[in-house]
Amino acid sequence: DDLLDWLKSGWLAWALDEGEQPRPPDVSLLRATDELESWCRRHGLLGAWGLQIPAPVPGDIGDDALPAEWIPSGRQAMPASAAHLWRWASYVVQPLQDLWSSKRPSLQDWLAGLQAALARAGALPVLMADEAGELALQSLRFDLLDANEPAGGLWAGLSSMTRLDGPAFLRWVSTVLEATTFRPPAPEQPADVVITPLARAVLRPFQAIVLPGADERQLGAMGSQSGWMGTRLREALDLATPMTQRAAQWDAFTLLMTRPGVICLYRLAQGSEPLEPSAWLERWATQAGQGIGQAADARLTVSIEPCPVYPPLPSLKEALWALPGQVTATSYEALRQCPYRFFANSVLGLREHDELEEGLDRSDFGIWLHEVLRRFHEQRQGQLAISSEAEDVQAWLDAAQHVLHETGLDRDSQRPFFLPFQADLDRLARAYVKWLRAHESGGWSLQDSERVAQRDLPISENLSVKLYGQIDRIDARHHEGGKQHLVLDYKTGSLEGLKRKVAQPLEDTQLAFYAALSDPQWVVSASYLHLDAQDVKQLDHPDVQRSAQALLDGLARDWSRLHAGAAMPALGEGSACTYCQARGLCRKDHWTVQEAST
C-alpha cells in the first residue's frame, strides 16, 4: 500500500518523451496505477513481491506485457500498462535498492541515491517548484553534497564518514523532516479570526473576544509540577513555578477582561463529571464591580423523526438475470450461513480490498505451502526410481527453496518476514513425508493437484447452475475391484476447528462440494489434511457421498427459491458476522431492536 500511495501521491512525473524510461504514449500514470493495484490486490503481496523483474536497462521500455517467466506461476498476466509502470517504478528506486543491499553505505551515498531516485521519478523539479518541497530538499542538504561547495565542505566530510544501513537512513530522513516546519507566508489581509493563547491575546485590538474553556478545570486551575526540579529549587533559580504561572495567567485574564464584549464559554460536564464555571469569573466580577451576564443557550432545538433501521430483505424478483450462473464452495457456504452475505458478495460482486502490507501472515504461508506441495509432487511423479524417505524430505525442502525464490521471499527485504516459518520447515517436511509414505502404503497415489473442476447442475427446464472449484489434490487407488478417489483439502489453520467441521458432516460445505465436483463414476471419499510441523493429520469426512448428494439437492432447492424471487435476509450469527465483509452494508450494528408483539 505504501508503494501504491507513493505512485498516487501526485509528486511523480512519468515523462512522455524524455527520461530513460518514458511513458508509453497511450498510458496515464493514474490508469496504470489502478491496473497495478487491481493486479496486486488480486494476487496479494506474495504475488506482487514474486515478480522476478530483472534490473531495468536504461532506455529500454520493454515489450507491452511482462514475459511469462517473470510472473510467478499461478498468477494471471499483468496488464501492459501496469507492467510498464512496475518496470518504471523498479527503475526509479534502483539507486536506493543498490544501496539497501550493500554494506553500510555512507550518508553521502544514501543522499546521492535518494537524489537520483527523486530525479528519475520526475519529483525533483516538482518539489523545487513548491515552497514546502524546496524546504524539504534543503533540510536534506542535497545542495551541500558537493565537497567543492564552500559551504558544503564540512557537511560533505561528515556525511561521507557517517555510515548507515537502510532502516537507519529511513529513521534519519524522518527525523530531519519531522524537525522541519513549513510555515506558509501570512496572508496580506488581516485574518478575520485569530486563535491564540491567553497570554498572547492581551493588549491586542480585537473587535470581539471569545474565551473558551472558562471552567474550573482550565481557567485558574493550579498546574502540576513537571520535571525533576522542585518548587524550592525553581524559586531559588528564579524559574517559573505553578504559583507564578497562575499569577501570570490571572494578570493576562484581567487585562483581557478590560476589553468590551468578552464572551466566556464553559462546559457543563467533562465526560460524566459535572463542571462548574471557573471561580475566577466570580472573583473578577467582585474585584471589577461588574456583573457577568448569563447568555441564553444559542443552540437550536431540532426535532428529528426516528428512523428505525431494519434488517435488509433484498430479492431478485425484478432482476432474475442477476442470479449468478456459477457457484463455488465459498459462495454457497455464504448462502447457507447468511443469504444477505451471498447477495452482497455474489450477486452485487462486492469485495473488500485486502491491505497490501509488508509481512507474511498465515494465509500467505498457506498459499506458499500449496505451491510447494504442487511442485514437490510434480517432480516426484517424474522420477523413475522409488525414492527413500530421506530423499523425499530433501526433495520437499528443495521445492520449498525453489518456491521461496520464485515468490521473492528469499530477498533481503522479505527474508525477515519468512524467518518464523523457515524455522519449522525441516520438521514440516519430515512430518509431511512421514504421512505421505504411510498414506501411499494404503495403495493411494496422487492423481492430480490444484485441479480446476466444474459441473452443470440442471434444476428445471430453464434453470441450471454451474458448480466451480479448484481442488487441492485428488488421490486414487484400486480397491476391492473398483477405483476409488480421495479428495484432499490442505489446511494450515486450527485443528480443533477442522475436527468440529467433520463432526457435523452435513454442515460442512467444502468437502461435500468438492466431492460433488469429482468424477461421478468412481467411489469418492474426502478428507482435510492438516499441515503442521508437529504432525500432519488427515481428518476424514465420514460419508461424503451422502453429504454431496444432500448438498446438490439443497443447492437445487435454494436456486429455485432465489429464482422464484425469495428474499435473501441477513440471518448471520456469531463468528459468521464477526469476520463478515458485508457487515457495514447489512448494518447489523444499527438494527432497531423490534419489541416482541404480544
Assess 577 for contact with ligand SF4 (CB under 6 A). yes
Whose Cβ is closer to ligand SF4: residue 43's or residue 588's? 588
Site for ligand SF4 (CB under 6 A): which residue of 84, 341, 377, 473?
341
* Region from 115-123, 173-181, 453-461, 583-591 binding ligand SF4, contact rule CB under 6 A: 583-591
Residue 570 as a binder of ligand SF4 (CB under 6 A): the answer is yes
CB closer to ligand SF4 out of 88 and 340: 340
The full 3-state SS of 532-598, as one line of letters, equals CCCCEEEEECCCHHHHHHHHHHHHHHHHHHHHCCCECCCCCCCHHHHCCCCHHHHCHHHCCCCCCCC
Examine residue 409 and tell whether it contacts ligand SF4 (CB under 6 A): no
586 touches ligand SF4 (CB under 6 A): yes
Q: Using CB under 6 A, which residues numbered 468 to 527 contact ligand SF4?
A: none
One-letter identity of residue 233: L
Is the CB of residue 295 less than 8 Å from the CB of residue 265?
Answer: no
Interaction between residue 322 and ligand SF4 (CB under 6 A): no
Measured distance CA(95)–CA(82) in Å, rounded: 21
Among the residue ranges 135-143, 373-381, 449-457, 582-590, the one whose residues contact ligand SF4 (CB under 6 A): 582-590
Taking the complex as a whole, the smallest distance from the CB of residue 459 to ligand SF4 amounts, in Å, to 25
- Provide, rounded to whole angstroms, the least separation between the CB of residue 330 and ligand SF4: 13
We find the least distance from the C-beta atom of residue 493 to ligand SF4, in angstroms, to be 19
Nearest Cα neighbor of 475 from 367, 381, 372, 365 is: 381
Helix (H) or strand (E) holding 448: strand 445-460
E runs forming strands in 121-247: 209-211
* Nearer to ligand SF4 among residue 146 and residue 352 (C-beta): 352
Site pattern 527..566 for ligand SF4 (x: CB under 6 A): ----------------------------------------
The three-class DSSP label of residue 208 is coil
Residues 6+ apart with CB under 8 A from 155: 141, 144, 145
Least separation in angstroms between residue 595's CB and ligand SF4 is 20
CB of 312 to ligand SF4, least distance (A): 8
Q: How many residues does the chain have?
A: 598
Number of other CB atoms surrounding residue 178 within 10 Å: 9
- State the DSSP H helix or E strand holding residue 233, giving kind and residue range, or none if neither: helix 231-236
Question: Judged by CB, which is closer to ligand SF4: 206, or 591?
Answer: 591
Name the burial class of residue 190, with classes exposed (0-12), middle (13-18) and buried (19+) by CB atoms within 10 angstroms of its CB.
Answer: exposed
- 257 contacts 288 by C-beta, under 8 angstroms: yes
Between residues 436 and 577, which has the closer beta carbon with respect to ligand SF4?
577
- Residue nearer to ligand SF4 on the CB measure, 149 or 352: 352
582 binds ligand SF4 (CB under 6 A): yes
Stretch touching ligand SF4 by CB under 6 A, among 47-55, 176-184, 404-412, 575-583? 575-583
CB burial of 373-395 (b: ≥16 within 10 Å; e: otherwise) equals bbbbbeebeeeeeeeeeeebbeb
**C-alpha distance across the termini of the chain, in Å:** 54
Choose the binding region for ligand SF4 from 38-46, 194-202, 267-275, 570-578 (rule: CB under 6 A).
570-578
By Cβ distance, which residue is nearest to ligand SF4? Answer: 572
Tell me how far apart the alpha carbons of residues 495 and 575 are, in angstroms, rounded to a whole number: 17
- Which of 118, 338, 399, 502 binds ligand SF4 (CB under 6 A)? It is 338
User: Quick check: 347 binds ligand SF4 (CB under 6 A)?
Assistant: no
> How near is the Cβ of 592 to ligand SF4 at its closest, in Å?
15
Phi, psi of 486 (to 5 degrees): -125, 120
Nearer to ligand SF4, 306 or 574 (CB): 574
CB of 562 to ligand SF4, least distance (A): 16
436 contact partners, CB below 8 Å, separation of at least 6? 392
Judged by the rule CB under 6 A, the positions of this chain that interact with ligand SF4 are: 338, 340-341, 570, 572, 576-577, 580, 582-583, 586, 588
